[in-house]
Chain A
Amino acid sequence: MEKSVPHIVVQNLTVAYDSIVILHDLTFTVNRGDIFIIMGASGGGKSTVLRSMIGLLRPAKGDILYDGMSFWSAEQEAQKEIMRKFGVLYQSGALWSSLTLAENVALPIQQYTDLSPKQIGEIVSLKLSLVGLSGFEDFYPSEISGGMKKRAGLARAMALDPEILFFDEPSAGLDPVSAHLLDELIIELRNSLGATVVVVTHELASIFAIGNNSVFLDADTKTMIAAGDPKKLLAESKNVKVINFLTRGEGDEKKAGGTKE
């Protein structure tokens, strides 16, 4: 069995907006090549943790290490260097509305490489074809559907061949078939690119289909109450909240042993 190599280490992380603590004392490790799920009920602070992981929200306490390097105590230039390893797919796709799909995907490549326009064009076509949007290069985000925006966002997230892909609610607003296709795409990308994938979601189908590691965030206690392979959590967890979540509230409370926190 391949040895797990820590890629992202979240240490005693506390995230807050001004004086309002959203989550506290989160500690977990994402191994290289993991598809790591951050799960929990709506409004539990999953996306806030993600914002902190991708450098958009300075934590109130704690740190995040990427390949052993501290992100939040690093200098700005070092932070940028770490962030260049990221590809992020936002919940809404977050495509730049004044640019075409091709320009959206091309922008990060133009910013960070000295490639010729022709080479950039070829990479853009490749990335768009990987997500099934070949031929839509000259479309503006307003001219395509929600599912296509997500896929175009994914093409942009992959533009610089990132080591780590972050997904914020990738299946939100998608029909079941599109959501399933996106899940397959995530697995395929992990397998082919060897990237580490962090997914924020509460979609059970996605959690079990793609996740091999996870953390469960609880809105009441404002911290993590479980971590591990979602399938193992379903089979072995004794926590009522975790079981209820993973079984859509139909879990056998006796099985959980009644450790309500």
Chain B
Amino acid sequence: MEPLSLNFSKEDSETLLVHFAGNWKRGNRPPDAREIEKKLEMWPKVKRIVFKSENLTGWDSMLLTFLIRVRALASSNNIILQEDDLPEGVQRLLTLASTVPERKGKKKETTLIPIIERLGDSAVVFWKSLLDMTDFIGETAVALMRLVTGKARFRQSDLLLIIQQCGAQALPIVSLISILVGLILAFIGAIQLKIFGAQIYVASLVGIGMVRALAAIMTGVIMAGRTGASFAAQLGTMQVNEEIDALKTLGISPMEFLVLPRMLALFLMMPLLSLYADLMGILGGLIVGVSMLDLNVMEYFTKTQESVHMSDFWVGLFSAAVFGVLVALAGCLRGMQSGRSASAVGEATTSAVVTSIVSIVVAMAVITVVCHVLNI
């Protein structure tokens, strides 16, 4: 590419001639506008800058940005610019760029916010999000009351479809994860228990572990990533497309029409999926027991049956139902709170998954302590 050049000469003591030559296009490195500043410092009497472009062979936005910088410099030094010799296109674009003045007060300024202020802002945001969450839970409770009294309005076909999506269609992933969790649990247990010749207790370990807690937790985590995220994305997209506004203006409660069927579906499906995950986890343990510990199938099942009590099942099923409600609430809450842009939907989805998983772990801790206190 032909190089560019910038030269200076003086017409008289008050006039600086700036000569543009060569190819002023991207690809060539532009000179620094401070070169002109230096010349002005050298010749303080200059009151007028005249641009000369007889040897200019090409130009694009690079020349324009350079000229705009010179314009700003001239303006701050009260120097008159003479641009008649510049190519007509350049002159027109410069005029166009300066036609609409900058809207005052609209420019975003980046200022360094003190750490105390940032902490305060975060606390306010956290408090607001707690209030929003409480508000949402309250609205969900009202919608549930309306459901109980037969006043809630939603499409049954929607409920059935969501049940299918978060129930039957989740079976493959729940199967895979549960078998693997059972397998891992048995594998870790087997190594330790073999030292004491107590391999048979692998069945107890896997059985109680899966039925009481792990099946529900793992199913909850799977549903948080799969269904909770999907709820947030669906509702977030509906916000973007004004579909939720359309429901509101028709007097249809989005809580009843959108949130209720999703919560009901997960509340109903999570215990069933958790039960299924129990079986798959035990199957995973059985694979390790039979293949590594020389246990036979009947022996394994008998030991599992002996170890796992009905109370373990109930605790697992109760936990699963609670997790179902939490995942649905988190997904729907974040979706309904979503902003009206593609990135906001992405943030809502991420936030739904994080909120779901955190609430599952917290809820599990609470359930475990309560069960311990109640001796269940």
Contact = CB atoms under 8 A, between A and B. Distances in A.
A91 B249 contact: no
Interface string B184-220: 0000000000000000000000000000000000000
B251 A90 contact: no
Contacts of B243: 94-97
B250 A111 contact: yes
Contact of A111 (B238, B241, B246, B251): B251
B252 A88 contact: no
A80 B249 CA distance: 8
Secondary structure call for the B interface: helix
A60 interface: no
A122 B251 CA distance: 23
B249 A88 contact: yes
Interface in A117-171: 156
Contacts of B237: 97
A67 to B, nearest CB: 17
B131 to A, nearest CB: 14
A51 B153 CA distance: 24
B245 A94 contact: yes
Contacts of A96: 238, 243, 246-247
Nearest to B250: A108
Nearest to A57: B245
A84 B252 CA distance: 10
Interface string B232-243: 000001100111
A80 B251 contact: yes
Contacts of A98: 158
B242 A83 contact: no
A79 to B, nearest CB: 9
A216 B251 CA distance: 30
B196 to A, nearest CB: 57
A55 B245 CA distance: 10
A56 interface: yes
Given A92-B241, A94-B241, A97-B241, A84 B251 contact: yes
A83 B249 contact: yes
A245 B247 CA distance: 34
A55 B249 CA distance: 7
Interface in B134-174: 153, 158
A94 B254 CA distance: 14
A86 B245 CA distance: 13
Nearest to B251: A80
A86 B249 CA distance: 7
A22 interface: no
A98 B242 CA distance: 14
Contact of B245 (A80, A90, A111, A156): A90
B250 A55 contact: no
Most chain A beta-carbon contacts within 10 A, residue among B242, B246, B247, B252: B246
A94 B251 contact: no
A92 B243 CA distance: 9
B239 to A, nearest CB: 11
Contacts of B248: 55-56
A156 B238 CA distance: 17
A55 B252 CA distance: 13
21 contacts: A51-B245, A55-B249, A56-B248, A56-B249, A83-B251, A86-B249, A88-B245, A90-B242, A92-B242, A94-B243, A95-B243, A95-B246, A96-B247, A97-B237, A98-B158, A107-B250, A107-B252, A111-B153, A111-B250, A111-B251, A112-B251
Given A90-B246, A97-B241, 13 more contacts: A51-B245, A56-B249, A83-B249, A86-B249, A90-B245, A91-B242, A92-B241, A94-B245, A96-B238, A96-B243, A97-B237, A108-B252, A111-B153
Nearest 6 CB-CB pairings of A with B: A94-B242, A94-B246, A90-B242, A80-B251, A88-B249, A108-B250
